[in-house]
Structure 1
Amino acid sequence: MKAISVLGAALTLMALPASVAAQTRSAATCLTEREGESVLLYLAPDLLAQTNRICAPILPANAYLRRSGATLGQRYAGVSAEAWPAARTAIAKIAGPDVAPLLDSAFAAPAVASLVAPLVAAEITASDCPRLDRILSLMAPLPPRNVAGLAVAFLQLAGDRDRKAGRRPALPICEVQPR
């Protein structure tokens, strides 16, 4: 759960000037499930590459990341490019009107990913690597969109707990309304 919380915090604060950070944490602004999925799909190749960079060297030779980590990242690359337009809109939504125009630049897409992935990776410890290796090996057969949907569902659970405890969620995914 720590890595998910870090991801949420990183997404919320990425590439933002300090004066805008408080604005992004507004309780009134949240991402729909689809918007959250788009952000995660967009960032996936860079997040996977960072995880692989940190964990593969310290895992045993038969670990999933050592055998297939790069291949998994490549699977997400095509979906990532497709997800950028929706991810850009979602990021602009939580970043606010001062940041939104910056996301229209041709340099925004690579800049966002290159800023967020290292922030998340900085929170990965060697003791996290065996669990991350197992999680990635379990999710590998699933379609990327299903993985993003599951990740958003877990972020919603964490967000619900944060709200009940009086804390703001790390990534502002809108609360699920009962059907």
Structure 2
Amino acid sequence: MKSIIALALVANATTAAAAEPPCVTDAEFKSMALFVLPSVVYGAADRCAAHLPSDAYLLNGARRMADGVARDRARHEPTAVAALARLSGTKLPKGVSGETLGSMLNDMLRAQLVTKVTPGDCSRIDEVASLLAPLPAENLVGLLGVLFREGMRRGKKPPFQICAAQEI
């Protein structure tokens, strides 16, 4: 969940200061989540590699799953990039490719994971990853969307929210 919120790091300070956070549609949220999912998995695996057994799911199966999603990243790129640009309140420079944006997000997410994930978190992350493994990527990000909306409903203040398409 925090990894999805890291997408909002692209947003500028004036957007963060607004009374109502900007919103993305469910489809945009799913595209952004699928766009960054490989970076999140790779970052968590890198951070936890020294703290998990060599046969841990996060170090093996999760990387294969992330590789599959990464191969399909281009399909989610246009929607994800457009949503991120709108969340930032500025236009992204012309010519920013999904690969460039993906690389930037990858670096940001990995840096965040290094500071936020403790060695004690690694076994729980591995367990959650292995429990979610049977879900296709589309279902996984659908579940993330449900959890994100539930956090919003319970009063969490994310830097962006999921709203209906007509609210955009």
**TM-score interval, normalised by the smaller of the two chains:** 0.7 to 0.9
Quote the Cα distance in structure 1 between the aligned partners of 2:116 and 2:58: 18
Quote the Cα distance in structure 2 between the aligned partners of 1:66 and 1:9: 23
1:174 maps to which residue? Answer: 163
Offset at residue 67 of structure 1 (A): 3.2
Contact 1:50 1:118 (8 Å CA) reproduced: yes
Quote the Cα distance in structure 2 between the aligned partners of 1:145 and 1:68: 17
Unaligned runs of 5+ in 1: none
Matched, 1:114 2:83: no
- Stretch of structure 1 that moved more, 65-74 or 37-46: 65-74
- Give the ranges of 4+ consecutive aligned residues of structure 1 lying more than 6 Å apart after TM superposition: none
1:148 maps to which residue? Answer: 141
Taking a change above 3 Å as real, the CA distance of residues 60 and 28 of structure 1, as seen in their structure-2 partners, is closer
Offset at residue 46 of structure 1 (A): 1.0
TM-score (norm 1): 0.78
Unaligned runs of 5+ in 2: none
What amino acid is the match of 1:87? A
SS in 2 for 1:141: coil
Q: CA RMSD in A?
A: 2.2
2:83 maps to which residue? Answer: 90
2:9 maps to which residue? Answer: 13
Quote the Cα distance in structure 1 between the aligned partners of 2:60 and 2:21: 44
Identity over aligned pairs, percent = 26
Taking a change above 3 Å as real, the CA distance of residues 101 and 70 of structure 1, as seen in their structure-2 partners, is closer
Quote the Cα distance in structure 1 between the aligned partners of 2:94 and 2:33: 16
Matched, 1:102 2:88: no
2:14 maps to which residue? Answer: 22
Taking a change above 3 Å as real, the CA distance of residues 32 and 101 of structure 1, as seen in their structure-2 partners, is same
Q: Which has the higher relative contact order, 1 or 2, with Cα contacts under 8 A spaced 6 or more apart? A: 2
Deviations 1:158-177 (A, max 9, x none): 112125xxxx22442227xx
What amino acid is the match of 1:105? V
Deviations 1:27-78 (A, max 9, x none): 1520111111111100011111001101122112332123323212212112
2:48 maps to which residue? Answer: 55
Quote the Cα distance in structure 2 between the aligned partners of 1:82 and 1:58: 34
